[in-house]
Amino acid sequence: MRLLRTSRWLLLTLLLLIVPASSFAGVFISVGFAPPVLPVYVQPPCPQPGLMWTPGYWAYGDDGYYWVPGAWVPAPYMGALWTPPYWGWAGGMYMFHPGYWGPHVGYYGGVNYGFGYMGVGFVGGMWHGGVFAYNTAVMRVNTTVIRNTYIDRTIVQRNTIINNNHVAYSGGPGGIQHQPAPQERLAMRDQHMAPTNVQSQHEQAARMERASYFNSNHGRPATAAVARPWNAQNRPSAMNQRPNSFNNRGTAGATNGMQNRQGQPNSAYQNRGYGQQGGNVQNHPYGQYQRPNNQGYNQRQIPQGQNRQAQQYHPPAQNQQRMQDRPMDRRDINGRNFR
């Protein structure tokens, strides 16, 4: 028994050595039981140019796992990409690895969060000429105000980790079995930026919401995604305490646009999994989703900032054809050396 405990701690120490240093900002969290499965929900449309999607995830507080809604947030600097947080199994425990910003998307355990974060890298868009262009094959945007869009389904299929059971953790019994790909290992060497104050406020607001906890929502959070990050003032319970407030009447729908809305089975903008649980990256067609009976996942947020006026961007047909015909180039996904 003593030998088993010693080996577990050695494995945990080894894992800490290979995880990027940026992942250790804040408190080290490990839990003895797995996080709930990821809930299925509809992505709110991106309300304006220049915002980045940060998927929801399960965090852990005093009363257990709680859901942090997905949200559209401004990038902290031009060219920044978000690597979402994830739970990883090691030494008999489930460790939380915080998300971070960087020039490339790093390893997030192969967890398929949907909406561009399909398990490997990010395929929901790219930076081009100082402007972020959205891949509407997996991203939902307000096309009346956002023109810089394109459609590339091939890159989505090439970078999808099969996860029909919506597992929210990597490794261990029943977890996603995906080791870091070469491009994910390279991203570990980048200079990373910790979640911003706005993201931290969003997570803290979710932590303060009784309805966010699994013990209360049983894996079906009423607010799975929001168009704007939460804070102490615009979180649901705070707004419910101000029945005569204009925000409660007029803007709650914009801020908490996905409240009480679970994903419809035929929606094109769901965080659905593809194929079988824990599989490898495959070309896999979009299929019908079988709704799980249990739990959900959390999301982080980003600081508010000034957004640049987006320029119109339509990739030339020749470039689109080239992207589909040639082997996947990770630099294209992360917005570098796009040809």
Q: What is the pLDDT along the chain (339 residues), one digit of tens a residue?
A: 454 444 444 444 444 444 444 444 455 788 999 999 999 999 999 999 999 999 999 999 999 999 999 999 989 999 999 999 999 999 999 999 999 999 999 999 999 999 999 999 999 999 999 999 999 999 999 999 999 999 999 999 999 999 999 999 999 999 999 999 999 999 989 999 999 888 899 999 999 999 999 999 999 999 999 998 998 777 787 666 555 443 433 333 333 444 434 443 334 456 654 333 333 333 333 223 233 333 333 333 333 443 434 344 444 444 444 333 433 333 333 444 433
- Tell me how many domains the chain contains: 1
Does a structural domain hold residue 125?
Answer: yes
Contact 30, 93 (CB under 8 A): yes
Does a structural domain hold residue 257?
Answer: yes
E strand map for 75-159: 81-83, 86-90, 93-97, 100-102, 125-128, 131-135, 149-150
Structure-derived torsion over alpha carbons of residues 34, 40, 46, 52, reported in degrees to the nearest 10: 20
Which of helix, strand or coil describes residue 183?
Answer: helix
**pLDDT for the residue numbered 235:** 75
Does a structural domain hold residue 339?
Answer: no
What's the rounded Cα separation, in Å, for the pair 276 and 155?
19
Contact 80, 191 (CB under 8 A): no
**pLDDT for the residue numbered 197:** 87
**pLDDT for the residue numbered 246:** 35
Nearest to 285 by CA among 151, 116, 153: 153
What's the rounded Cα separation, in Å, for the pair 41 and 261?
7
Total Cβ atoms within 10 A of residue 329: 16
Parent domain of 33 = 2-333
What's the rounded Cα separation, in Å, for the pair 218 and 294?
7
**pLDDT for the residue numbered 258:** 40
**pLDDT for the residue numbered 28:** 72
**pLDDT for the residue numbered 108:** 98
User: Cβ neighbours of residue 108 under 8 Å, at least 6 residues apart?
Assistant: 83, 84, 85, 86, 97, 99, 117
> If you count DSSP H runs as helices and E runs as strands, how many of each does the chain have, helices first?
10, 14
H or E segment and range at residue 199: helix 197-208
Give pTM, 2 decimals: 0.68
Does a structural domain hold residue 338?
Answer: no
Contact 87, 167 (CB under 8 A): no
Does a structural domain hold residue 64?
Answer: yes
What is the 8-class DSSP label of residue 248?
I
- Phi/psi at 229 (nearest 5 deg)? -65, 150
- pLDDT tens-digit profile of 12-21? 444 444 444 4
**pLDDT for the residue numbered 332:** 39
Total Cβ atoms within 10 A of residue 138: 27
Angle at the Cα of 29 (from 225 to 212), degrees rounded to 5? 30
Total Cβ atoms within 10 A of residue 20: 17
